[in-house]
Structure 1
């Protein structure tokens, strides 16, 4: 498959909620085509209340306008489960440059830390009730949409719609609230975020301004600007591995922004201890398994350690996890 797409496809997913199997299958067919040919798509017909996005945007604008010492009071390095404020320079892809962005990372808010699963536990929240309320409401809603998409992708792969349900009991899916400040003095090659693929199963993204670009099979960067009422969805490493490469995790980046930009990616994944390896349905003599057997959460943690400064040296044992994500695809 050449994957030489020139535009990111749009899929209306309203039919996933239909009682008619043919409606659900029609959506699944479109999802599967986009996942195979581009690895990126826009989804409409999702039914999420636009007020959730507006509230999160207002909360993000207020939070990131705070003085740096206040924001650093919730520095992610002080958290128990990789949540909190991420200053510029904290996150760098191996061999890459410092990204021009700041962020706040939020996970599944649990009452206690699981020492065996380092991404699980209570969030580190700022002293800001509006931010916490807006982020928690958005997280709950986008998690529900992600579950629907897991069902749609399962159908697209010829599996039962509930094929992933057993692995979605307590997933360490992460919401990032990202701020890309506009700096007219930035170097011409300064990127908002460097080229990479995402580590999880797939990502659901809302962005407020242009800047996102996707690499096609020709090695060309294709613009992926916001479409009103749509979310961007992209396939991640775990779903590429699960499907033995049938679905593609596509490299993407945020170029130097021409205006202030906010972005809310939700990285949808399965339970921490989910074993990920090519599903038997996608392995044959003609197409042998291409990916190693690994544990979903351990892969996520290993890749996170490789990019976050505060984690390097803390859990060096995780570097033993086979890497096949952004380092192999940039």
Structure 2
């Protein structure tokens, strides 16, 4: 039976947070609210998250220590030919698709740790751990594991919203190339070209974003307006990536978002954020779900593609290929 997808009621003011405390007490209600927010905006704000504050604080401290290293030391952790998927990517590299100027940021990627002999290990590459920061590996691994566990719970709710078995996504993301990105947007000089992050959509399945100390994140609404996203403390911003948009035939949209430059009085401050990009397994075939195709919504993505091929295609577009 084909599912009828309802259009959520429009809220022009903000994205209303969905409390994670409802996950256990009212899973059906939580799933419906989360799914409605995703259908409407491509984004949701998940409040009352249970990731330990100490885990977040330690990871943030290690990230700031990393970006405070001299440029030459950071560049020692660039992986040649690695598509920026592990280790350090310097300022002035990543460029939003179609943009004329690179993003004003530098970042570091921590990926999945796999045992020796695992078939995906050669595809993913090896993590790098900066020797200058002794606690970096432990701090970032703890945050990676916490965000992945929460991401799996949210995928279960998404499956329920789509009318799929609750465990549908478990196998699709098992051993996926999920990445924790440490982002640093340096202070903005008066004559800087470009913006901290140009308008873009994420490549992956879903993204979980820890709140940043400095504002700037904006989401493009249907009417062409940019909506600022300022989640309350203890919340995560979660958005649909292009892979899940493709799988669901656009029922769950991947929405353009950006990080704008700060007001003049905040230009001298750095901005840090930590998105977790949850990915399908490399050989997972992204093929439109039959339940997401209707006469009113014909299949927009008739050609299946593996998650790995899609990732590499998109990385080339943003100059990380």
* Same topology, TM > 0.5: yes
Q: Is the 8 A contact 1:80 1:121 kept in 2?
A: no
Q: Is the 8 A contact 2:96 2:197 kept in 1?
A: no
Alignment of 1:240-251 (within 5 A): 240-251=245-256
Aligned counterpart for 1:195 among listed residues 199, 202, 205: 199
TM (normalized to structure 1)?
0.86
Q: Is the 8 A contact 2:180 2:275 kept in 1?
A: yes
**CA distance in 2: counterparts of 1:185 and 1:112, whole angstroms:** 49
TM (normalized to structure 2)?
0.88
Q: Is the 8 A contact 2:282 2:307 kept in 1?
A: yes
- Give unmatched runs, 5+ long, in structure 2: 1-6
**CA distance in 1: counterparts of 2:315 and 2:177, whole angstroms:** 13
Q: Is the 8 A contact 1:81 1:120 kept in 2?
A: no
- Give unmatched runs, 5+ long, in structure 1: 312-330
Aligned counterpart for 1:28 among listed residues 25, 31, 36: 31
Aligned counterpart for 1:238 among listed residues 237, 243, 264: 243
Is 75-84 or 240-249 further displaced after alignment? 75-84
**CA distance in 1: counterparts of 2:83 and 2:226, whole angstroms:** 37
- Find the residue that maps to 1:176 and give its secondary structure: strand
Is 86-95 or 97-106 further displaced after alignment? 86-95
Aligned counterpart for 1:306 among listed residues 284, 295, 317: 317
> Given the alignment of the two structures, is residue 260 of structure 1 paired with residue 270 of structure 2, yes or no?
yes
1:76–1:14: structure 2 CA closer, same or farther, 3 Å change rule?
farther
Specify the alignment match of 1:8 in structure 2.
15
The aligned length equals 305
Over the aligned positions, Cα root-mean-square deviation in angstroms equals 2.2
> Given the alignment of the two structures, is residue 278 of structure 1 paired with residue 288 of structure 2, yes or no?
yes
Specify the alignment match of 1:65 in structure 2.
68
Specify the alignment match of 1:41 in structure 2.
44
**CA distance in 2: counterparts of 1:157 and 1:68, whole angstroms:** 46
Specify the alignment match of 1:318 in structure 2.
none
Specify the alignment match of 2:4 in structure 1.
none
**CA distance in 2: counterparts of 1:113 and 1:200, whole angstroms:** 25
CA displacement, residues 246-278 of structure 1 (integer Å, 9 cap, x when unaligned): 111110000013332101000112211111121
CA displacement, residues 7-55 of structure 1 (integer Å, 9 cap, x when unaligned): 122111223234xxxx110000101110111111110133110111111
**CA distance in 2: counterparts of 1:113 and 1:91, whole angstroms:** 32
- Find the residue that maps to 1:129 and give its secondary structure: coil
**CA distance in 1: counterparts of 2:82 and 2:41, whole angstroms:** 36
Q: Is the 8 A contact 1:81 1:121 kept in 2?
A: no
Alignment of 1:78-227 (within 5 A): 79=82, 82-96=85-99, 97-111=101-115, 119-127=123-131, 128-187=133-192, 190-206=194-210, 207-227=212-232
